[in-house]
Amino acid sequence: MRKQIRSSGDLIADRRLNYGQTFLKEGDLVAAIELFEQTIDRAPAWPEAHFALGGARRDIGDRAGAAAAFRNCLRLDPDDKLGASLALAQIDAMATVDVAPTAYVKALFDAYAEDFDKALVERLSYSTPQKLAQAIRAARKVAGRSGRALDLGCGTGLAGEAILADVAWLEGVDLSGGMIEAAKVKGVYDQLETADILTALHRRETNYDLILAADVLIYFGDLSKPVAGVAARLVDGGLFAFSVEKGDGADWTVQSSLRFAHGADYVARTLKTAGLEIVTLEDAVLRTDRGADVMGLLVVARKPVRARSGLPSTA
């Protein structure tokens, strides 16, 4: 996904950054770094230039220099619209981050909203919504539209569309106002809200038969809060269906894409801690990225049905 580069207010600095990006694309990292440094000389308070310098230094193997540039970026942009804290954590084990910054997610997806469906479905072969819908159908074994569903990080509504035929009521929540506007146009949701997932789960008073999170928990490293929040909002027997990108065994890591990847053991442990039981946890190709398959985990978990008091448990 492309970040939208704003202007520094200095035309020459803007041009130097642009030239630097062109050199970067052509693989000339030395020239790109020189231009990014020149940009910073002219516009020292421009976070974009520090972020670009950090990326180019990282790519050339100068980790310390990259970390310094990302730290400068964070100092100048404490809300972290550019995701410098993620870029820093990706190269420096001492810099931990457990969730993508709100300002970063909003800026990224507000800029991406208009082009999202075309980019994901046509160019990146995004198929997670359909695969999750299939896994949900296999787990529910209920024909026809029934139950209340909540789509977390609903985006433009691709997952909502995939599950619409199976649910009687569908709500969507997303941080990005731009994505919510695009979802409204589709008319898939009975209710839409611009909010953070954790806040939305906390505020809700109703419980759901199904909660979905397609390609969303990749913006969370630590899954304990969203999973506990979901568990609290499911009816007994309710399902939680989600995808994550698959990591190399660590609980979670920040990838060069600035998305998180998760280990299968960690996902299973987090669900268990929240009192959810796994119905399906399987490897799948989620989509492509720069021509390569993005490997992920498709998960369906269930909130167990509690034995009614006064009756002997059959467990």
Ligand X SMILES: C[S@@+](CC[C@H](N)C(=O)[O-])C[C@H]1O[C@@H](n2cnc3c(N)ncnc32)[C@H](O)[C@@H]1O
Q: Provide the minimum distance between the beta carbon of 285 and ligand X in the complex, in angstroms, as a whole number.
A: 15
Residues 20-39 that bind ligand X (CB under 6 A): none
Q: Residue 4 is encoded by which pair of tokens? A: 């939208």
Find the helix packing angle between 264-273 and 224-232, rounded to 10°.
40
* Residue nearer to ligand X on the CB measure, 68 or 232: 232
* Residue nearer to ligand X on the CB measure, 219 or 252: 219
Binding status of residue 197 toward ligand X by CB under 6 A:
yes
* Residue nearer to ligand X on the CB measure, 35 or 197: 197
Q: Provide the minimum distance between the beta carbon of 91 and ligand X in the complex, in angstroms, as a whole number.
A: 22
Q: How many CA atoms lie within 13 A of 68 on its CB side?
A: 6
Residues 97-136 that bind ligand X (CB under 6 A): 105, 109, 128-129
**Residue located via tokens 């946890």:** 281
Binding status of residue 69 toward ligand X by CB under 6 A:
no
In angstroms, the CA 301 to CA 240 distance is 5
* Residue of the chain from 91, 216, 227, 254 that contacts ligand X (CB under 6 A): 216
Q: Are 182 and 156 in contact, with CB atoms under 8 Å apart?
A: yes
Determine the interface stretch with ligand X among 26-34, 45-53, 79-87, 209-217 (rule: CB under 6 A): 209-217
Q: How many CA atoms lie within 13 A of 186 on its CB side?
A: 24
Return the ∠ at Cα 299 (arms to 294 and 302), rounded to 5°: 170
- List of residues 6+ apart from 203 with CB closer than 8 A: 195
* Residue nearer to ligand X on the CB measure, 157 or 247: 157
Q: Provide the minimum distance between the beta carbon of 219 and ligand X in the complex, in angstroms, as a whole number.
A: 4
* Residue of the chain from 32, 69, 97, 214 that contacts ligand X (CB under 6 A): 214
Q: Are 186 and 117 in contact, with CB atoms under 8 Å apart?
A: no
Binding status of residue 211 toward ligand X by CB under 6 A:
no
Q: How many CA atoms lie within 13 A of 180 on its CB side?
A: 17
* Residue nearer to ligand X on the CB measure, 153 or 263: 153
Residues 139-178 that bind ligand X (CB under 6 A): 153-155, 158-159, 173-176
**How many residues line the site for ligand X (CB under 6 A)?**
20
* Residue nearer to ligand X on the CB measure, 111 or 139: 111
Residue span 176-195 as binding mask against ligand X, x where in contact by CB under 6 A, dash where not: x--x----------------
Helix, strand or coil, per DSSP, at residue 7:
coil
Binding status of residue 258 toward ligand X by CB under 6 A:
no
Q: Are 148 and 166 in contact, with CB atoms under 8 Å apart?
A: no
* Residue nearer to ligand X on the CB measure, 66 or 197: 197
In angstroms, the CA 286 to CA 125 distance is 8
Strand partners, 292: 289
Q: Which residue is nearest to ligand X (CB)?
A: 155
Helix, strand or coil, per DSSP, at residue 72:
helix
**Residue located via tokens 């035929």:** 165
- 87, containing H or E segment: helix 84-91
Q: Which residues bind ligand X (CB under 6 A)?
A: 105, 109, 128-129, 153-155, 158-159, 173-176, 179, 196-197, 214-216, 219
